[in-house]
Amino acid sequence: MALQVYSTLTRKKEPFHKKPGEPVSMYVCGPTVYKPSHIGHMVGPVIFDTVKRYLTYLGYKVTFVVNITDVDDKLIKRAAELKTTVPALAAQMTEDYFACLKALNVTGIDHFPRATDYVGGMIEVIQKLEQKGYAYQVDDGVYFDVSKDADYGALSNRDPEQMEAGARLEVNAKKRNPGDFALWKGAKPDEPVEVQFDSPFKCGRGRPGWHIECTCMAIKMLGETLDIHGGGLDLQFPHHENELAQSESLTGKPFARFWMHNGLLKMGTAKMAGSVGNVVNIADLLNRHTAETVRFLLLSTHYRSPIEYSEERLEEVAQSLEAFNRFFERFERISGKSFHQLATPMRLAEYEAHLEREKKKPDPEERLILGFGTHRRFEDALNDDLNTAGAIGHLYTLLGILNQFADQYGDFADSEIRKGPKFANFKHGVETLRELSSILGLFWAPPAKQSLGGGDALVSGLMQLLLDLRNNLRTTAKDAAKDNPLKKALFDQTDLIRKRLAELGVTLEDRPGGTTWRVG
């Protein structure tokens, strides 16, 4: 199946319109930087970072832009409360946002334009809209006339007549239509001077409206028609409807080929939002859970569906991730290599070309362990409108195959087997797991080791000493004759070690290739 993406505008899945190798522009609405980021702010970045990773894997050259709104009513209010300036607050909260993105392995964003750096361009756009008859001035600002845009309401599927109901519209008696929105807001007397910019408009100094920021920066950085415009479902109306109206009235061209909207985080039945007061700070969250657990949770649901968030869900995800972490430890013990440091693996297509060159066809077992089937199914899942939950399911399948393979060959402890093709196949399979999981941005670093105190190196050394002693006791016990009274005594000692470690929260696992331990 070739890549299909759901378009909010047409309300159906459509074949992606470009060929691998071509450039793809992607714009996603970013944060208003007035408070530390909460987990709800990370849903879009994690999802669209994954979209970029997958498109890149398919061979597209993606440029990904996320804007920073650094002038806004909320910023003005919050800066006043904190007795600081809007630029100082914005700079601090932008740093917080960047730190959260980094923590969650969101690495694909190429540019973060800040609204205040583009005010001149926004004024030009507003002037052009006025010249074309889409905008008009009143004494407190410049407004967009929604009645001039015949398509207004198409994206959010609303009838302009009904839009007044339920929507938070700007109240102003001077507007021509209730749905008209501000392109430029004249400065109010009590507003700080640092949020006022010179303008050629009748109202004089002021600042741009939120919607025109995105129109201006998206077009400036990525051109008049974007390949993908993304954002949360809550931005569909009025923000995206207004962006679309402004942009298409300005250029006469489609603003975005695909509008993609991600579902929102839900706690119980409520949306997670500052206005609801149920937000979970990222910094607090990362004190309780690994960043991997959080990213995994966000990708475990289809991106267009609401994501159920709760401590219990996070616990469940953390538990299921343990299966991967245990395998990574096993792989390291078998191969001496860290899974997380494996080189960027080759792509399936390249490997198949390589086999073709070598005139060699993989045998069925090799196909299985190389993850050929998994590769195809993984791609099929993502090709079906980025079904990350389905793709994750295929990672579990591959994990099961690899564990089974290692079991079957005794963790490759036999030096002859280690030199043979079985071990090479196993390593290829692990590289496939690395490749596919990195497309989802998962398993980028080992989970922070929980320390028992005294430092990791000392704990590891002492644990290894204990395991070696226990192993010697077991071997002696196994070799002892049945009627030797020491046999039971020695087995009792090995059980005692396991039991006492369990009381400390350390679990031992006896496998054909040796014993491993983990905390928890």
Interface ranges with Zn ion (CB under 5 A): 29, 214
Q: Where are the alpha helices (DSSP H) in 132-275?
A: 210-222, 241-251
Sign of the dihedral defined by the CA atoms of residues 89, 91, 95, 100, in that order: positive
Tokens standing for residue 34:
């007035």
Among 315, 324, 495, 512, CA closest to 406: 512
Which CB, 303 or 426, lies closer to Zn ion? 303
Cα 156 from Cα 233, distance rounded (Å): 10
Q: Which residues contact 335 (CB under 8 A, 6 or more apart)?
A: 427, 430
Structure tokens at 407: 């079991």
Contact 436, 375 (CB under 8 A): yes
Q: Please, which residue, 29 or 58, has the CB nearer to Zn ion? A: 29
Stated length of the chain? 520
Q: For Zn ion, which is the closer residue by CB, 214 or 490?
A: 214
Q: Work out how close the CB of 214 gets to Zn ion at its nearest, in angstroms, rounded to a whole number.
A: 3
- Summary count for the chain: helices (H), strands (E): 17, 15
Quote the least distance from Cβ 29 to Zn ion, whole Å.
3
Question: d(Cα 187, Cα 141) in Å, to the nearest integer?
Answer: 9
CB of 76 to Zn ion, least distance (A): 19
First-to-last C-alpha distance (Å) of the chain: 42
Q: Toward Zn ion, which CB reaches closer, 29 or 430?
A: 29
What is the number of alpha carbons within 13 Å of residue 494 lying toward its C-beta? 21
DSSP strands (E only) in 75-115: none
Nearest approach, Cβ of residue 215 and Zn ion (Å): 8
SS3 266: strand
Q: How many CB atoms lie within 10 A of CB 404?
A: 12
**Minimum separation from the CB atom of position 34 to Zn ion (A):** 16
Q: Output 93 or 244, the one with its CB closest to Zn ion.
A: 244
Q: Which is nearer to Zn ion, 246 or 374 (CB)?
A: 246
Q: How far is the CB of 320 from Zn ion (least distance, A)?
A: 35
Between 29 and 392, whose beta carbon lies closer to Zn ion? 29
Report the nearest approach of Zn ion to the CB of residue 64 (Å): 14
